[in-house]
Structure 1
Amino acid sequence: MGEFAILQWLIASTIFFVVPFWRICRRAGFKPGLSLLSLIPGGILVLLWIIAFAKWPSSPEEKKAIGN
């Protein structure tokens, strides 16, 4: 295994973590760029914390409140 194998693992892990978080953030109404936090060690925990406890901009409850 050479230097090229490490690069392949880095690209694969980036795709494995960033792409799903990108879609989650976009569907939840957050900026998709937040998914880049998953590249930082410990960033996945921070990202999950943000997604779990923040008010979601695209939440159906807020859309009902705006419509009434």
Structure 2
Amino acid sequence: MAPRTAFRNSLSRHNKEQMKMMSWSMEHWLVLLATAVIFGIPLWRIVARTGHPCVMAILFFIPLINVGMLWWLACGKWPSAPDRS
């Protein structure tokens, strides 16, 4: 019986350490917030200058959609740009 309880104790200790590593600490949240601010404000202003709704800048934070948005922004027609015809 002793080896079984020792094995269970080691498993529970291992699970606690794993859960501790999987949780988000304050540093993680601060890095996430800093990244959102560092990239979000310029994207917001760029999208606003093209004449599109500013809320579209949020789409740049979604993986794969951000690549499509970049191509759309680069090749699409901007409402604020003068017509070159």
Partner residue, 2:82? 60
Structure 2's unaligned 5+ residue stretches are: 1-23
RMSD: 1.8
Give the percent of matched residue pairs that are identical in Structure 1 and Structure 2.
Answer: 32
Structure 1 Cα separation of the partners of residues 69 and 38 of structure 2:
15
- Which protein has greater RCO, CA pairs closer than 8 Å, 6+ apart? 1
2:31 and 2:64 map into 1 onto residues whose CA distance is 18
2:36, 2:64 → 1: CA distance? 14
Amino acid at match of 1:51: L
d(CA) in 1 for partners of 2:46, 2:79:
13
Matched, 1:21 2:26: no
1:1-68 equivalences under 5 Å are 3-61=25-83
User: TM-score by structure 2 length?
Assistant: 0.63
**Residue segments in structure 1 that go unaligned for 5+ positions in a row:** none
Cα distance, 1:4 vs structure 2 = 0.3
Q: Does the CA contact (< 8 Å) of 1:17 and 1:38 recur in 2?
A: no
Give the total of aligned pairs.
Answer: 62
